[in-house]
Amino acid sequence: MQREDIARAAIGLTVVLLPYAEAFTVLPLAAIFLLDPGTRLLSASLAMLLIMRPALSIPHINLPLYVIAISFVASTFAPLAFKKFDTLAGSIIYLMITVALGYPLAAMISSGSLSPERMLFLAILGGLSGAFLHHVSQERDFTVPFGTAMVMWLFSFDYPLPDLQRILLICIFALALGIGAYFAKAADSDAVLSETIICLLVILFGGLPWFLLLLAFYLLGGGFTHYGYAYKRALGIAQSRGGVRGYKNVYSNSLIPLAMAICYGVYGSEMFIYAFIGSVATANGDTLASEIGETSRSKPRMITTLKETEPGVDGGVTPLGEAASFAGALLISLLAAGTGMVGSFGIVAGTIGGFLGTNFDSLLGATLQSRGMLSNNGVNLVATAFGALVGAALWYILQII
């Protein structure tokens, strides 16, 4: 074992002092900081978390000690999984190590004040976010401890959770779907972790029907990426990497639906159901409009000027693409009604929200994206937010009619 690995293990072992020393655990971290230059950023990051806790208590803000403890595990012991395994296998083992060590640590530190369900949920969330950040970040010794702590802290408030077995089943279900997408070459390893986090949170806060809408979008998007692929490749407008999706694509299309699901779980307003459907319908309508519309034999026209343009140009639309956009939004809305989320008005609201959101996406592509002010992922994020706003506005109109 190399010196740096020994130092990281020593940093990890200081976690056993947390229940007794709390903020004074910075003292052994300071000693390791002085002895090993290679782990100084990690030692400093964990020490900053420990110092933040009493500082935040002054304005009566609580950063739970068990959150910091799980972050210790996620940034020291769990990364050992990547030493001998590839990215996907390493990520799964990373998650298992974080849960196996983080759960009992949280139980010991909380002294019975924290339910087993919440401890398991936070440990899983810490493991998933830690594995993701470890792989995508260039400054992992900072982003992993701080990132995992902030994600877990965000969800450390009190809200109802299902029993332990159901939480585990949801996690296994989400991972299985992600692994299936990975081997089907529809998603890379980072996208698998991203989809798993989104699946876990959407099901817990919204319910399984909510995730079925997102799953339908993922499946349709992955499937239609290969529609007319040879023709799109010949034009030079096919998806890169054979249509394999990355985490940026997942988050840009799913962050707004995820936010709506969490808001629904916290506040319970039906408005968030309509906003969720509008955002997912936008994502699905936009994907189908792009993947099917690009195979159109007619020349696309710019949405801003209606002048003919070349295939693949941002902001170009075709009748085939518009029809695909409407169909994609309608499919999501019908599925929402079929799962009992909404009634007939929800179908109308979701379809309108998705269709308008898709065309707003094209408008952004023709303006802000073409000028380099927004990336494609940024456009997707803003467009799904617009679709959510339309869905919520139509729900509000329904209330006053």
Taking the C-alpha atoms of residue 120 and residue 115, their distance in angstroms, rounded to an integer, is 9
Asked whether residue 240 carries a pLDDT value surpassing 60, the answer given is: no
How do residues 391-401 score in pLDDT, each as one tens digit?
Answer: 999 999 988 87
Structure tokens at 353: 């929200």
Q: What SS3 state is found at 267? A: helix
Q: How many helices (H) and strands (E) does the chain have?
A: 17, 2
- What H or E segment, with its residue span, contains residue 353? helix 344-364
Taking the C-alpha atoms of residue 274 and residue 223, their distance in angstroms, rounded to an integer, is 26
Taking the C-alpha atoms of residue 125 and residue 236, their distance in angstroms, rounded to an integer, is 39
Q: What is the per-residue pLDDT for 339? A: 95
Asked whether residue 309 carries a pLDDT value surpassing 60, the answer given is: yes
Give the CA-trace dihedral at 364, 248, 151, 269, to 10 degrees. 50
Asked whether residue 72 carries a pLDDT value surpassing 60, the answer given is: yes
Q: Are 292 and 224 in contact (CB under 8 A)?
A: yes
Instruction: Write down the pTM of the prediction.
Output: 0.92
Q: Helix %, strand %, coil % for the chain, to 5?
A: 80, 0, 20
Q: What is the per-residue pLDDT for 132? A: 95
Asked whether residue 256 carries a pLDDT value surpassing 80, the answer given is: yes
How do residues 334-379 score in pLDDT, each as one tens digit?
Answer: 999 999 999 999 999 999 999 999 999 999 999 999 899 999 999 9
Dihedral angle sign, alpha carbons of residues 85, 87, 88, 93:
positive
